[in-house]
Structures are given as structure tokens and as C-alpha cells.
């Protein structure tokens, strides 16, 4: 007999008994067998234990209940994960740092267009990164701190997600195709134990317009996830762009969670779940945490 799936519906403060009932009808309607169901937290999150086709269940529920976030995962893997590997820009924070940095050079429109194409998977990431950084040549190094202070804001739920997992024994790694001068303070503010991102070459007190090798790209993100040593079934990967797809898929293939967060279409399609409405605490709901458990 096939292992059961854990289906979690999340809509903080807006999930009604009627929604829960409708979800159960949808699951049964595509031929899945419901084993059990219960409120994870009344009005916020609802769990259904079922046997069936996971991707088909997710698609049917997202279509029938478009205002809900839906996570479908294996019931045979540890629900509370022991590792989180997360992207930074547009995932843990609400902006793309290189776009905001380019704004200080009067080049945001040009740089943002390249960023958007790269995140959609239309450009080679390393080439796109080098092209964007080249446009920043001559920008004062002091602008990095100014940009971080004025433009970088954490996405809602970032602290709660990482600190709650850490309080329950999980390891945490922030891995970014962005830059260490942004990633290090962001990691500290959120509570990540480790951080890896690209560096920027400087010449005196200005940016040189180059990035030293090796570049933190999609392959590097996946390699870091796999090299951690935590069983993949106990890992959670989260990101929003095309360069996050390999690590998301590696987590999924190993029985863990690979979740897209307010993501570009390719990343959303490749992930196990796509958080379209809620904040990062949806990832805590997926792990079975109630609000009283949250830290941060």
C-alpha cells in the first residue's frame, strides 16, 4: 500500500470549516483515499492525511481553493526538518540587492531587466551576474552599507521560520547568488548559523566591477545542500528563482521539502509546493508547528 501523504492547507485567520470540507471533497473527487484529517490550528491551518497522487492533489486543491497555500508531502519522512537551506534575495528579504545597489548608480532599470531574465531561467546565471556587476564598476564601497540600511527588509516570517527550526535542533544555511556584504548581516539578523554568497572585488574605495571565482550559482546551492550531511528526507530547501531549482529538486528527490516562495513560474513548477499568499511561516505550518511553538 502506498505511503500516506500529509496535505496542509494554510490561510492564517481565514481558513473556515467550509474550506476544510471543500478540500476533503476535492481530494476524494480525484480518487485519493482520506485516512485522517484535523485542524493543525483552527482558522489557520488544516491537515489531511491521504493516499494518492501528490502532484495531482496539489494541482486540484490550488485550482479549487485559489486563496489557500497548499503543501503536499510524504508522510514517511520526518515532518519537522533538521536542516533549512534558503535563498536570500526575494525569499528571505523583500528585494534583489543588486537591483537596489544599481539604483544608486542610476542603472536600476538596466540591471533589474537582466536580473528578472536570469531568475526566469532565460540567461546563464554566472554570465548575467558578471554583466550586472560590470555595470557597477566605480560605485563607492560605502554604498553597500547605505543600500543595506536603506533598502533591505526581511520578509515576514523569516525570523520565526529559522529561529523556530533552530530552537528545535535544526541546522540553517543562507546561500545566495548575491553578495556577502548583504548576506552576512541578513543572516545574523534572521538567525542563520552559516552563510555563503558571492564576493565583490574592490579597487581602493570603489567596486572593481568583477566577481571572484568560484561563483555561488545553482550548482553551488545544490552542492551545499547535499554536502551538509543531514539526510535529505530531513531537509527543507526554499527559494524563488531558476537558480534555486536544482536544490529544490534535490530536496524533493531525497524525500525532503523543496518549496518555492512567491516564485517565478519555472521555480514554482519545479517545486513541491508554492507559497503564493502567506508569509514564510507557511513553512512552519507545513512542518506541523502551531503558533505557540514559534520563536522569534
* Active-site residue identified among 87, 99, 240, 244: 87
What is the C-alpha end-to-end distance of the chain, expressed in Å?
Answer: 41
* Residue pLDDT, tens place only, 246-281: 999 999 999 999 999 999 999 999 999 999 999 999
pLDDT value of position 49 = 98
- Cell triple for 67: 486563496
* Active-site residue identified among 47, 69, 89, 99: 89
Model confidence at 285, pLDDT cuts 50, 70, 90, reads very high
pLDDT value of position 206 = 98
- Could you confirm whether 53 is annotated as catalytic? no
CA distance 145 to 111: 19
DSSP characters for 243-263?
GGHHHHHHHHHTTSEEEEES-
Taking phi first (over 0 means left), then psi (-120 to 50 degrees means alpha), and beta for anything else, what does residue 157 get? left
For the segment 66-93, the average pLDDT, to the nearest whole number, is 97
CB 96 within 8 A of CB 115: yes
CA distance 218 to 129: 12
For the segment 84-92, the average pLDDT, to the nearest whole number, is 98
3-state class of 5 per DSSP? strand
- Could you confirm whether 205 is annotated as catalytic? no
pLDDT value of position 160 = 98
* Cα-to-chain-centroid distance, residue 286: 13
* Residue pLDDT, tens place only, 9-62: 999 999 999 999 999 999 999 999 999 999 999 999 999 999 999 999 999 999
Amino acid at each position: 500500500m502506498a505511503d500516506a501523504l500529509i496535505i496542509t492547507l494554510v490561510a492564517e485567520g481565514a481558513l473556515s470549516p467550509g474550506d476544510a470540507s471543500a478540500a476533503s471533497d476535492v481530494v476524494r473527487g480525484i480518487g485519493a483515499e482520506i485516512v485522517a484529517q484535523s485542524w493543525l490550528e483552527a482558522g489557520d491551518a488544516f491537515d489531511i492525511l491521504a493516499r494518492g497522487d501528490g502532484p495531482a492533489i496539489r494541482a486540484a486543491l490550488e485550482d479549487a481553493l485559489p486563496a489557500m497555500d497548499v503543501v503536499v508531502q510524504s508522510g514517511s519522512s520526518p515532518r519537522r526538518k533538521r536542516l533549512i537551506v534558503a535563498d536570500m534575495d526575494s525569499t528571505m528579504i523583500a528585494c534583489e540587492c543588486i537591483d537596489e545597489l544599481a539604483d544608486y548608480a542610476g542603472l536600476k532599470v538596466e540591471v533589474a531587466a537582466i536580473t528578472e531574465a536570469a531568475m526566469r531561467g532565460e540567461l546563464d546565471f554566472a554570465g548575467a551576474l558578471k554583466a550586472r556587476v560590470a555595470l557597477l564598476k566605480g560605485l563607492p564601497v560605502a554604498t553597500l552599507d547605505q543600500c543595506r540600511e536603506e533598502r533591505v527588509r526581511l520578509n515576514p516570517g523569516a525570523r520565526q521560520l529559522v529561529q523556530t527550526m533552530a530552537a528545535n535542533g535544526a541546522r540553517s544555511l543562507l546561500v545566495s547568488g548575491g553578495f556577502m556584504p548583504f548576506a552576512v548581516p541578513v543572516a545574523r539578523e534572521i538567525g542563520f548559523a552559516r552563510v555563503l554568497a558571492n564576493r565583490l572585488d574592490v579597487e581602493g574605495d570603489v567596486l572593481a566591477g568583477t566577481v571572484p571565482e568560484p561563483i555561488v550559482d545553482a550548482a553551488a546551492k545544490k552542492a551545499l545542500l547535499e554536502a551538509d550531511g543531514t539526510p535529505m528526507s530531513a531537509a527543507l530547501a526554499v527559494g524563488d528563482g531558476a537558480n534555486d531549482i536544482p536544490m529544490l529538486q534535490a530536496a524533493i528527490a531525497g524525500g525532503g521539502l523543496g518549496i518555492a516562495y512567491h516564485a517565478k513560474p519555472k521555480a514554482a513548477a519545479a517545486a513541491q509546493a508554492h507559497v503564493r499568499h502567506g508569509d514564510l511561516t507557511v513553512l512552519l505550518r507545513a512542518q506541523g508547528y502551531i503558533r505557540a511553538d514559534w520563536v522569534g
